[in-house]
Amino acid sequence: MPQNPFPAMPGRSSMNRRLFLTTTGALSLGAALTACGGGDSGGSTGSGKAVARADIDKAMRTPTELTFWTWVPNIEDEVALFEKKYPAIKVKVVNAGQGTPQYTKLRTALKAGSGAPDLVQIEYQAIPTFTITDSLLDLRPYGASALKSTFVDWTWGQVSGSDGEVWAIPQDTGPMGMLYRQDIFDKHGIDVPGTWEEFAAAARKLHKADPDVYLTNLAANQVAAWHGLLWQAGAKPYVTSGRSDITISVDDATSRKLGEYWGGLAREGVIGVEPDFTDSWYAALNKGKYATWITAAWGPVFLSGSAKATAGKWRAAPLPQWDAAKPSSGNWGGSTTAVIRSTKNPVAAAVFAQFLNTDPASAKMFATEQFFFPATKALLTDAEFVADAPSFYGGQKVNQVFADISSTVNASFQWPPFLDQAATDWTETVGKSLADKSDTLRALGTWQSRLTSYAKNQGFTVKGS
Amino acid sequence: MNRQRAAGPLFVAPFMVLFLLLFLAPLGYAAYLSLFQERLIGGTAFVGLDNYTQALSDPQFLHGIGRVALFFVIQVPVMLLLALAFALALDSGLLRLARVVRLGIFVPYAVPSVVAALMWGYLYGPDFGPFAQLGRSLSLPVPDFLGDGWMLASLANIVTWEFVGYNMIILYAALRTVPEELYEAAAVDGAGAWRIAWSIKLPALRPALMLTLLFSVIGSFQLFNEPKLLMTIAPDVISSSYTANLYAYTLAFTGQQVNYAATVSFLLGLVIVIASYAVLLTANRRRTP
């Protein structure tokens, strides 16, 4: 499943020099709340009237306990900042599993009608699967609309509904880039590929020169990476309009271009296709079987903890491009904070979600303690943040590389309201074709038809298929 | 009613309550759920037996059942014969360090199946797994344990390793209940060790063997943990409907098709009842030639 593989936080020690000293570029939650005090929710269709400032103040002084499901390690530190500012509110942090296991528990609790928390950590791609069941609270009445300019542009599209609802507050992101082994590139005289064409040529050249080494691994189980590459290529695999209309085009021209490209490289045998985040894959990275890892902004810290044997040999670069003149990227991973609609304390929960991710001290703590890649514009331009030059990457300013990539992420990518199904179907069709070195284009067609019949079966009106 | 007659129902009551709450109630609920269809768009509708007709012609469900049936036919005899051999060997008193051996065979059962599957996943690894490395260093071909052709055998190996000890303990305990006098009498009559094993021990083991066989029917058809865990390292081989139980899980938690999942589970339960009954019937028929 696509998820931010952050639980182990292996890279803590290697990156602890990365400390911020200033709070410049700070955002103020107070400002956000004031902005909505006038009564305009900021949303165009005005579903839900703005909650008055006085009511918010009152709620924040009323003793309340919030339950917050999250898998972020040591998030109690950020929570403490909130509790210090609002002593009446206590936040109970519960780790209900990471990603899918948590969503499964949440779904069960929602269905049972009891046991659901007030707030949850939720990844961008999972938001539609919870809005389709009306499980999330629209945060506009609590001033969330005013936070739009605070966050990187594309993230706001990810948390917004079709009528302008704000379903969640961005927490961290994963703009995609490429980590590569400088030493292997040097040894075989390979330049950092700027285009996918150059990348393919390099893959052939490298594998020919050393049959034990592959330029990269496209994991046959990692639909999130595939979605990220689709995203980069400008594909719109899932477009929803209204509540029940969906256009599924996982087999359109852009997808087929990707299918032909990656399927071709897999069949030629010049790239690896083994499942990622497995023992074998970690060993492969440590032993130099792969010369690049196509990953996201959380990748550098993750890798420095998982491939210690290769310290100092890695560098970061943007993804190779389809059109070098118009650099673009996709996103893989990252989370948000959402409020569950059934909460009895919507005000306190909504204020907490906003505080957690926009309070300068809290947001900074995510970047320095949990090494999350920021979702706020302020942190992405924070001098201290982008100047970090870890020795694992030979002193390269890795954060700067990914901060630059972040601004090239396509803003219009949408997720389907049944992502889990899409992911499973991908693994069993497209992923399988990569692993088996069989026809990827045909697999794309099967993926399309499986998803289409699933969507129809679930009552959706499926268009354009 | 006298006190003794009142005591009977009282003793049975705790079991009946739990049986009702933990077995019959969920079963009834699953049966009820299986008559509906809930959609993401459009809510829930009563569909009668539609889910059942769909499942009976659903290739994913049928392949899953077929696969576990094959698994049962191959894995269970191997496992039970091994368990039997170990139990007889331990009981013979000829083994040195019998206690250590007994514990050693039983220990894998104490290893959580999650850990076991992860461990075997590493051992089976095609690049850095010890078998692969050994094979490469000796220039011998190593089977692709995690490939299409070998996966079922690899799973069978894990399950065998996990449960041989468990079954051995059951059989061994049954052997210990055979009165010593029988052995002495047989020895006086001139029977050797093999003859004693064949004519005294094996018949004495029949009820215990039936028990282990029934457990194995249920275990095989419900196969879930091991394929679910190896799925992460062999996603292209183990599909989300690899076994019927895995399919039910996928339907409920990936596809959010709770009703259809209930149908599949209910049918799977039915298959297990039939298979158990068939096994019992076959065994009983053999007993009275």
List pLDDT tens digits, range A264-297: 999 999 999 999 998 889 999 999 999 999 999 9
Q: Check residue B287 and give its pLDDT.
A: 57
Whether residue A23 is predicted with pLDDT greater than 80 in this model: the reply is no
Q: Give, rounded to a whole angstrom, the gap between the first and last alpha carbons of chain B.
A: 46
Q: Are B268 and B65 in contact (CB under 8 A)?
A: yes
Give percent of chain A above pLDDT 70.
89
Spatial separation of the C-alpha atoms in residues A382 and A114, rounded to whole Å: 42
Contacts of B125 in chain A (CB under 8 A): 279-280
- Cross-chain residue pair B250–A431, CB shorter than 8 Å: no
Whether residue A13 is predicted with pLDDT greater than 90 in this model: the reply is no
Spatial separation of the C-alpha atoms in residues A271 and A274, rounded to whole Å: 10
A137-180 pLDDT, tens digit per residue, is 999 999 999 999 999 999 999 999 989 999 999 999 999 999 99
How many CB atoms sit inside 10 A of residue A78's CB? 25
Whether residue A84 is predicted with pLDDT greater than 70 in this model: the reply is yes
Q: How many residues belong to chain A?
A: 465
Q: Are A79 and A367 in contact (CB under 8 A)?
A: no
One-letter amino acid at B245 equals N
Contacts of B39 in chain A (CB under 8 A): 457-459
- Cross-chain residue pair A221–B128, CB shorter than 8 Å: no
- Specify burial of residue A230 (Cβ count, 10 A radius: 0-12, 13-18, 19+): buried
Spatial separation of the C-alpha atoms in residues A360 and A300, rounded to whole Å: 24
- Cross-chain residue pair B255–A420, CB shorter than 8 Å: yes
Residue B1 binned pLDDT confidence (cut-offs 50, 70, 90)? low
B40 → closest Cβ in A220, A275, A418: A418
Whether residue A464 is predicted with pLDDT greater than 70 in this model: the reply is no
Residue in chain B closest to A278 (alpha carbons) equals B233
Mutation target to probe the B interface, by most B beta carbons within 10 A, among A107, A134, A279 is A279
Contact of B59 with chain A, judged by CB distance below 8 Å, is answered with no
Restricting to A residues 91-110, those with a Cβ less than 8 Å away from any Cβ of B are 104, 107
Residue in chain A closest to B229 (alpha carbons) equals A278
Whether residue A45 is predicted with pLDDT greater than 70 in this model: the reply is no
Whether residue A12 is predicted with pLDDT greater than 50 in this model: the reply is no
Spatial separation of the C-alpha atoms in residues B32 and B44, rounded to whole Å: 13
Per the structure block, which two tokens stand in for A249?
Answer: 């085009």
- Cross-chain residue pair B127–A457, CB shorter than 8 Å: no
Spatial separation of the C-alpha atoms in residues A250 and A258, rounded to whole Å: 11
B44-98 pLDDT, tens digit per residue, is 899 999 999 999 999 999 999 999 999 999 999 999 999 999 999 998 887 788 8
Whether residue A306 is predicted with pLDDT greater than 90 in this model: the reply is yes
> Which of A107-121, A412-426, B5-19 is the least confident region?
B5-19
Spatial separation of the C-alpha atoms in residues B75 and B65, rounded to whole Å: 15
Whether residue A355 is predicted with pLDDT greater than 90 in this model: the reply is yes
Q: Check residue A243 and give its pLDDT.
A: 85
Residue in chain A closest to B253 (alpha carbons) equals A104
Q: Look up tokens 């104490």; give the residue.
A: B110
How many CB atoms sit inside 10 A of residue B115's CB? 10
Residue in chain A closest to B230 (alpha carbons) equals A278
Spatial separation of the C-alpha atoms in residues A297 and A316, rounded to whole Å: 10
Q: Mean of the pLDDT values across residues A351-357?
A: 97
Residue B118 binned pLDDT confidence (cut-offs 50, 70, 90)? confident
Whether residue B191 is predicted with pLDDT greater than 70 in this model: the reply is yes
3-state secondary structure A176-207: EEEEEEHHHHHHCCCCCCCEHHHHHHHHHHHH
Residue B2 binned pLDDT confidence (cut-offs 50, 70, 90)? low
> Which of A1-10, A315-324, B207-216 is the least confident region?
A1-10
Spatial separation of the C-alpha atoms in residues A66 and A355, rounded to whole Å: 14
B254 → closest Cβ in A284, A289, A421: A421
Q: Check residue B193 and give its pLDDT.
A: 84
| Phi and psi based region of residue A142 (left: phi greater than 0; alpha: psi -120 to 50; beta: remaining) | alpha
- Cross-chain residue pair A284–B126, CB shorter than 8 Å: no
Per the structure block, which two tokens stand in for B71?
Answer: 């698994």
The CB-based long-range contact list for B205-209 (8 Å cut-off, 24+ gap) reads B205/B84, B205/B87, B205/B171, B205/B174, B205/B175, B206/B287, B207/B174, B208/B170, B208/B171, B208/B173, B208/B174, B209/B80, B209/B84, B209/B171
How many CB atoms sit inside 10 A of residue B140's CB? 9
